[in-house]
Amino acid sequence: MDDLIKKKLLELKDRIRVKVRFNDTDAMGIVHFKNYLVYFDDGFVSFMNKVLAPKRIEETVAEGTAFGVKKIDIIYEGSARFGDYIIVETQINDMGNSSLTFQHNLYREADNKLIAKVECVRLAMEVRSNKLVSVNEFLNKYLKLNTV
């Protein structure tokens, strides 16, 4: 991968807005802790779609490459309720041979309170074989299509 592409990727930030559904809450009245994984996964999808545009992440999966989740570190700093909007900010912290380390910060939109911080390591893999794929190769293949 070109150092310029790498630099640009590490500078890229994505920001999306996710609405809390009633069924995301639990009997404590707040979003159940497992659902933050759904929210930051939306952030991952949006980030990758921005990188790959006009290609979409679901197409790269259909074409045989996926980013499997290897490791998640999540710290819960607050909570959210039905009707709240969550802002998910996503960027890449680190790139390995076959790994991308994402940083996701989740904020409650109403008061801009940080409610969760996530570091998520994803591995580029062939869908059929689960063999690791080089991130370089993956990006070179798809980034011909656009400039980041």
The residues binding a second copy (CB under 8 A) are 21-23, 25-30, 32-35, 37-38, 41-42, 45, 56-59, 61, 66, 68-76, 81-83, 127
Token code pair at residue 84:
């709240």
When the beta carbons of 9 and 116 are compared against a second copy, the nearer one is 116
**Structural element, H or E, at residue 122:** strand 113-126
Q: Which of 127, 70, 63 is nearest to 97 (CA)?
A: 70
When the beta carbons of 9 and 66 are compared against a second copy, the nearer one is 66
Q: What's the min distance (Å) between Cβ of 17 and a second copy?
A: 12
When the beta carbons of 4 and 28 are compared against a second copy, the nearer one is 28
Alpha-carbon distance of 23 to 89, in angstroms, equals: 23
